[in-house]
Structure 1
Amino acid sequence: MNKKRKTRIIFIFFLLLGLLMGIIIYKNKKKPIIAHNESVYKEYIKSIDSLLAYDKDKAREKIEVFYKTVLEKQDTLWLAYVYNYKAEIKQGSALFYLNKARVYAQKINDSILMGKIDYKIGNLYNSGNKYVISLEYYLNADKIFFNKEHLNGLGHVNNMLGSVYFSVNEYHKASVYYNKAEKYFKQIKDTLGEAISLTNKSRVLLKTNKYDLARKDLLKALSVFENLADTTKIIHTLLFLGDTEHNDRNSKLSLFYTDRAYEMALKSKDTLLEKHILLHYGQIYERYDYDKAIQFYEKGIKEGKEEMIDLDSFKNLAILWIQKNEYKKAYKYMERYYQLSDSIKGFEVRSKMEELQWKNELQQQHFENQLLKKESEINKQNYKNRFIIYTILTIFIISVIGLLYFNKVKSSRIIKLENNNLLTKIEFEKELKELREKEFKEELAAKARELNGINIQLLAKNQFFKEVRHILEKSTEYENIEIMAKELWLQLDKLDNQEQDWEQFKEVFEKIHPTFFETISKEAPALTKTEMRICAYIKINMDNSEIATLLNIGHRSLITIRSRIRKKLNLERDKSLECFIKSW
């Protein structure tokens, strides 16, 4: 009783100790963020992303099917992604679908998706020259990607932030963001992203008259775009190279690059780019052919898309008309230039952009301070937890050592007693086993004798039948015994019934080999009753002549039946039928 009590106390102590350690570890364990249905949608989204890059028509078809399926299921996560994709194929309603996607992304708390949506909304406002609103969305996406360490997203967002500041002539800030984008793309070894950053940087270098550096970056980017066969980016890069050469007074080379860009735009049937390139032709010809320059400028402005028209094109066209003393026409384009210039580069726009920039930087600083504070608190808590755990472990180790020491003496005594009991048990079990084996052998021998007795009876009976039939066959030669022969044949047919003898044999056989018939039925269900009987006779070592006599059949008939058994058992030629059957 005393021993049981001590064991219970020790068990309760270690149980409480384990629970205490478990609670400490659980409290300090970070809860993982589980992605909703990630295993289901990941591959589907990947395929759509690939199609959007290379085959927009197929992507559009797949997105429409995706959209219908998701509306039926009303899966929040899928709705967030499907509206995001709908914005790609429904340009006129892109903002509507992106706002819907953002709502669902917030519901499922998918920060990365929210960052991507904000980036796309920023692109929409940026293309409409609404730089303040676009800057707000870009900064929000930048904050999300920074917190999640999403380097690819950071690269793209910083490229667009640089473009916003470039559009309002903030070249230093634009350069800072372009350099950051290039750094992020280099870290993830994204050559395409890096090439885009180089192209954007060259625009700043061009504005600051660093033509050699701009030319070097553009040629490097052009090589990447040509390897990727990205026609649109090749055209833009060729136009930037043309601008670089134009500003560096290399008119022929400038015209060469612009011609290449125009040819590619015609081949790709990109009408918007075609019209935009006309403005670049106007810029080239304004130095030595005013009429041709005016023709290109006016056609590009008239037929081109407004967001693709460079602001300086209006100013340059106005100056050309002044040179030709057409002041009314010059006034129209100069007025348009100042209207757009004020809307893009006005004081109010700059102030709002500065405000957003400072607000974002203050939020970022506040976030970093909070992060440092949390890290400090976590470190302190971890130190306390480690101290508690080490203390508990020390007590635990000392307790275990003490327990082992006190149990050592008891264990040695118990082992001795157990060894003695074990030896006695082994001897008893050995004797019991020998008795059982002896009993089993005697029983087996008795059954075998009984089985052999039945077989001998059967053999004698069948031999008797053969002899009687032989006599009867001869008796037909005598006319006076014909009636007697018929009666005797009738009696023999009644007696020639092996079924009762077989059932008696089977009953004894199953006592010796209880699973034989069950096994043979599973291995070869197609075997007939006679074939199963032959298998049973083979099992008890009967030879072919004995089996033929017992079944009252000829030797050749038995060989034929054995052949059929081999086929049904799928036995190869080199394998023995006897060995196979005896293995059951």
Structure 2
Amino acid sequence: MNISTMSNNVPFSRTISDVHAKVDKMLPLLIFVFGLSSLIGHAQDQKKVDSLLQAASKQTDTTQIITYATLWAEHLFVDPLASKPYLDSTLVLAKRLGNKEFIARTTNYLGVYHNMTSQYEKSIPIYDEVIEMYKELGDMTQVCAAMNNKANSLRSLGRYNECLETHMESLKLKEEIGDTEESIAASYWNIGNIQGDIENYEISNQYYNKAKTIYEKLDSRDDLASIKVNMALNLKGQKEYEESKALLLEVEPYYFEKSYNNDLAGIYDNVGWILAQQDSLDLAEDYYNKSLEISKRYGETSLIGLNLRHLGELYNKKGEHRKALRFMKDALQISEDTGTRKKMIGDLLEMSKAYAGLGRYKKAYEFHTDYHELHDEILGEENIKKMNELEVQYQTEKKEKELIIKQNEIKLLEERKQRAENQKLFLIISLIGALALAAAIVYALRQKMKRNKIEREKLDKDLEFKEKQLTTHALHLAHKNEVLQDLKSQIKELKAEGANSRRYQEVINTINLDINNDGTWDQFRNYFEDVHKGFNSKVMGNYPNVSNNDLRLMSLLKMNLSSKEIANILNISVEGVKKARYRLRKKLDLSTEDSLQELILTL
């Protein structure tokens, strides 16, 4: 898996000790790197390492940094000292590129490295620097991560008050920014550790169970194993030795399978300590030596000091005080070198016991005095009280926030209820309005339909009247012309018979003038246009070659009159009507198959 595609929040665990009440804790050291996951299998794969080295030699920019970071992660738990050159490469490359994000990440790696090699004092200013870098970048998630790492270093140094305060501050910030469940679980884990250190086992287990619930949901086997070990150590502190030992040995095969060497050494050391309390001293010695062998091989300095102290304690119990003193001096030296002041409490106590066993009481008294002073400084009532106050303050603030959230939820529900009621009222009013509007529209439509019906009936009556008027006028015109033609014929006969033919001609001319009177046609056209609106204009638009006489013929054909009636109106013969129809067909460009009557009726 490529390191650039993995989660930023990967918890690592390593073993440190709490010599007070002889309780050893597993510490989740959160490394918020640019994704370290399955590649950290803790088992060296030389082929993979060679492949990564070959890839790094050809890479540039951030991809090369990621590859070196992967190599560092590959070695970190198996051989921390061997991981340092790769870490140095990531630091140099990030600074050379001037990439602020990668500079922050690689600097954080350096802090983690110091933690892993028990250089706790060196790690704290580095984490402070990382915190400021991420604040400048606006990455509050990584600020929380660096605060967690810093708090873990403070815990190793026995600065419990500062440690718990930093963890609480980190947890509050995570809750404010809505950090991931995994990240919040890590804070629960860390706070559970510090509460266990001061023997607040009930509170410690509450935090462990919170973390456990999340890890079960995330199916994180590594973290679940470490939480199980932590709860075993709480049982050890409560002197529930058999239950504690059973839990520890339950996890042992998993750590062995995964080659989690330092964690495995921690389990052997704790089992050895339990056996020593049960006076199985020889078996306890075997477990201590197994732990020491692993610790020396893989460079966990603080764990080496813890193994040496426990062996010294064992030899004190066996009455081998000189041998115990030799182990205790080495243990105390490691505690002083690494700055793990809380471990020094146990070292000083066992040194005092060894000197007392050798009869060197003055020396024993000096070490016992130093033991009490350091114990009171680190684990005195005032410090414990301050730490308990921090827990109470956190819980109080959390409950206040929860109360505010609940009040806001109630207020929101009330507002939603009010909005729902308002919407309901609005819908009812809208529905009533819509129904009223619909009724008004229906009424208006009915009234309009009623008016339209009346208007149509009126128009139909007017049209019927005008059609009757037009027909009557046409028939009257035909009849008049027929009468005048008959009268004209009779006068012509009288004229032919003789007397005063000039006078007869004047009468004939008067009749002809009346027959061809345009005024009569104008009146006819007006009647026709009232009934057949736009007919004349449509004919002239479609057939511009049509004459006025043609238009008169078409109007009469439109009225569906007979040829005789048309002949009388136009003052021509029936044969003349046929000829006029023929000429009109030609103008209208009609074939023999086309019907003139049908064409005119469709216009």
Alpha-carbon spacing, 1:379–1:341, altered in 2? closer, same or farther (3 Å): same
> Aligned partners of 1:109 and 1:100: how far apart in 2?
14
Report the AA paired with residue 158 of structure 2.
N
- The answer to whether the 8 Å contact 1:317/1:330 transfers is yes
Q: Which residue of 2 aligns with 1:46?
A: 35
> Aligned partners of 1:287 and 1:39: how far apart in 2?
53
- The one of 307, 314, 334 equivalent to 1:284 is 314
- The one of 146, 161, 173 equivalent to 1:132 is 161
Alpha-carbon spacing, 1:234–1:150, altered in 2? closer, same or farther (3 Å): same
- The answer to whether the 8 Å contact 2:316/2:353 transfers is no
Alpha-carbon spacing, 1:60–1:189, altered in 2? closer, same or farther (3 Å): farther
> Aligned partners of 2:104 and 2:298: how far apart in 1?
33
Report the AA paired with residue 136 of structure 1.
E
- The answer to whether the 8 Å contact 1:60/1:89 transfers is no
The SS at the match of 1:209 is coil
Larger radius of gyration: 2
Offset of residue 238 of structure 1: 0.9
- The answer to whether the 8 Å contact 2:332/2:344 transfers is no
Please tell me whether residue 347 in structure 1 is matched to residue 416 in structure 2: no
> Aligned partners of 1:265 and 1:81: how far apart in 2?
28
Offset of residue 292 of structure 1: 1.6
Offset of residue 349 of structure 1: 0.9
Q: Which residue of 1 aligns with 2:397?
A: 363
Report the AA paired with residue 54 of structure 1.
E
User: Counterparts in 2 of 1:382-401, with a 5 A limit?
Assistant: 382-389=416-423
Alpha-carbon spacing, 1:270–1:348, altered in 2? closer, same or farther (3 Å): closer
Q: Given the two structures, how large is their TM-score scaled by the length of structure 1?
A: 0.55
> Aligned partners of 2:385 and 2:72: how far apart in 1?
38
Q: Given the two structures, how large is their TM-score scaled by the length of structure 2?
A: 0.54
Q: Which residue of 2 aligns with 1:211?
A: 241
Q: Which residue of 2 aligns with 1:294?
A: 325
Please tell me whether residue 315 in structure 1 is matched to residue 315 in structure 2: no
- The answer to whether the 8 Å contact 1:225/1:233 transfers is yes
**Bigger RCO (CA 8 Å, 6+ sep):** 2
User: Counterparts in 2 of 1:72-471, with a 5 A limit?
Assistant: 81=105, 84-85=108-109, 87-89=111-113, 94-103=123-132, 105-106=134-135, 110-146=139-175, 148=178, 150-288=180-318, 289-304=320-335, 305-307=338-340, 309=343, 311-389=345-423
Offset of residue 334 of structure 1: 0.8
Deviations 1:215-241 (A, max 9, x none): 111012222222221111111111001
Report the AA paired with residue 393 of structure 2.
K
Deviations 1:273-307 (A, max 9, x none): 33331112112222222222222112222344341
Report the AA paired with residue 113 of structure 1.
Q
Offset of residue 187 of structure 1: 2.8
> Aligned partners of 1:134 and 1:62: how far apart in 2?
29
- The answer to whether the 8 Å contact 1:95/1:124 transfers is yes
Offset of residue 129 of structure 1: 1.1
- The answer to whether the 8 Å contact 2:90/2:106 transfers is no
Determine what percentage of the aligned residue pairs are the same residue. Answer: 16
The SS at the match of 1:129 is coil
> Aligned partners of 1:313 and 1:239: how far apart in 2?
16
Offset of residue 388 of structure 1: 4.8
> Aligned partners of 1:404 and 1:64: how far apart in 2?
83
Offset of residue 253 of structure 1: 2.0
Please tell me whether residue 66 in structure 1 is matched to residue 94 in structure 2: yes
Offset of residue 55 of structure 1: 3.6
Alpha-carbon spacing, 1:201–1:103, altered in 2? closer, same or farther (3 Å): same
Offset of residue 100 of structure 1: 3.9
Report the AA paired with residue 46 of structure 1.
G
Alpha-carbon spacing, 1:387–1:317, altered in 2? closer, same or farther (3 Å): same
Q: How many residues align?
A: 370
Q: Which residue of 2 aligns with 1:491?
A: none
> Aligned partners of 2:349 and 2:360: how far apart in 1?
14
> Aligned partners of 2:220 and 2:255: how far apart in 1?
12
Q: Which residue of 2 aligns with 1:8?
A: none
Say which is worse superposed, 209-218 or 44-53, in terms of deviation: 44-53
Deviations 1:115-163 (A, max 9, x none): 2222122112212211111111111222334452633223322232233
> Aligned partners of 1:328 and 1:265: how far apart in 2?
34
Deviations 1:375-401 (A, max 9, x none): 122222333444455566677788899
Q: Which residue of 2 aligns with 1:538?
A: none
Offset of residue 183 of structure 1: 3.1
- The answer to whether the 8 Å contact 2:272/2:283 transfers is yes
User: Counterparts in 2 of 1:480-495, with a 5 A limit?
Assistant: none
> Aligned partners of 2:412 and 2:391: how far apart in 1?
31
Alpha-carbon spacing, 1:145–1:206, altered in 2? closer, same or farther (3 Å): same
Offset of residue 343 of structure 1: 0.8
The SS at the match of 1:45 is coil
> Aligned partners of 2:440 and 2:218: how far apart in 1?
59
Alpha-carbon spacing, 1:111–1:231, altered in 2? closer, same or farther (3 Å): same
Alpha-carbon spacing, 1:316–1:272, altered in 2? closer, same or farther (3 Å): closer
> Aligned partners of 1:391 and 1:107: how far apart in 2?
52
- Gaps of at least 5 residues in structure 1 are 1-37, 414-584
The SS at the match of 1:192 is helix
Alpha-carbon spacing, 1:197–1:404, altered in 2? closer, same or farther (3 Å): farther
Deviations 1:5-49 (A, max 9, x none): xxxxxxxxxxxxxxxxxxxxxxxxxxxxxxxxx999979922668
Q: Which residue of 1 aligns with 2:25?
A: none
Deviations 1:460-494 (A, max 9, x none): xxxxxxxxxxxxxxxxxxxxxxxxxxxxxxxxxxx
The SS at the match of 1:278 is helix
- The answer to whether the 8 Å contact 2:111/2:126 transfers is yes
Alpha-carbon spacing, 1:42–1:142, altered in 2? closer, same or farther (3 Å): closer
Alpha-carbon spacing, 1:226–1:398, altered in 2? closer, same or farther (3 Å): farther
Q: Which residue of 2 aligns with 1:494?
A: none
> Aligned partners of 2:89 and 2:392: how far apart in 1?
44
- The answer to whether the 8 Å contact 1:82/1:101 transfers is no
Deviations 1:535-573 (A, max 9, x none): xxxxxxxxxxxxxxxxxxxxxxxxxxxxxxxxxxxxxxx
Q: Which residue of 1 aligns with 2:598?
A: none
Report the AA paired with residue 359 of structure 2.
N
- The answer to whether the 8 Å contact 1:168/1:344 transfers is no
